[in-house]
Amino acid sequence: MVQVCRGYSINFSTSIITCNHVHKLDFISFQRSSLETSKRLLLLRNSAVEQRNIMASKVTTGLVGIAVEANAIPKLKGYYSKVLKTLGTLPAEAEYRKKTEAVINHRLSIVNKYTDVSLIENAIGSGQVEELLIQAKKELKLAKSMAQWSPWERLRTEPPPGQWNWP
């Protein structure tokens, strides 16, 4: 009996690979040729890493009403791209466009740089990816509203004297 990696062992006398995991017991037979064995061991190792990653993924966000998002990274990329596209319709001199584009481009570069969710969360520093998704959805809604409201345009009538003064 030879231990291949944690949870996997090979019994060469019976040509059986045994996979002992928390709720699973798999038996996979294999050929004894060295090339075939190497291929199967590589597949087995990749499967073990994949199962470990699945087991290590988070089960809950710990936030009431916010479920874990399985495909957070592609969704973040999609929302950030939509926000940038919407911001492209605003005038280039609009302060909202300048500031928001800077934030979204920064976040998008981080999402493109990392494939690990925890690294993205730490690099952006604004909560979990599920919260980042909510922020991106709200920013997209706000960008569409700003395009409709046109706050960068001059007022239609002059404000009364003292309207913008605070006591």
Residues 6+ apart with CB under 8 A from 29: 15, 16, 17
- Chunk the chain into consecutive blocks of 10 residues (it has 167) and report each block's average pLDDT, rounded to whole numbers: 48 48 39 56 55 59 93 96 98 97 98 95 96 98 97 91 87
Residue 115 lies in a domain: yes
Give the C-alpha separation, 142 to 93, whole Å: 18
- Split into its structural domains, the chain has a count of 2
Residue 41 lies in a domain: yes
Residue 18 lies in a domain: yes
45: domain range? Answer: 2-56
Q: Do 50 and 82 fall within a single domain?
A: no
Q: Do 95 and 124 fall within a single domain?
A: yes
Residue 97 lies in a domain: yes
Q: Are 89 and 147 in contact (CB under 8 A)?
A: yes
Residue 127 lies in a domain: yes
Q: Do 19 and 87 fall within a single domain?
A: no
Q: Do 96 and 129 fall within a single domain?
A: yes
Q: Are 59 and 83 in contact (CB under 8 A)?
A: no
Q: Do 77 and 115 fall within a single domain?
A: yes
Q: Do 44 and 112 fall within a single domain?
A: no
Beta bridge partners of 8: 5, 19
Q: Do 78 and 48 fall within a single domain?
A: no
Distance in angstroms between the alpha carbons of the first and the last residue of the chain: 83
Beta bridge partners of 16: 11, 29
- Model's pTM, two decimal places? 0.63
Residue 94 lies in a domain: yes
Q: Do 120 and 86 fall within a single domain?
A: yes
Residue 63 lies in a domain: no
Residue 166 lies in a domain: no
What pLDDT score was predicted for residue 118? 93
Q: Do 50 and 108 fall within a single domain?
A: no
Q: Do 78 and 47 fall within a single domain?
A: no
Among residues 147, 146, 134, 148, the alpha carbon closest in space to that of 79 is found at 134
Beta strands in 30-77 (DSSP E): none
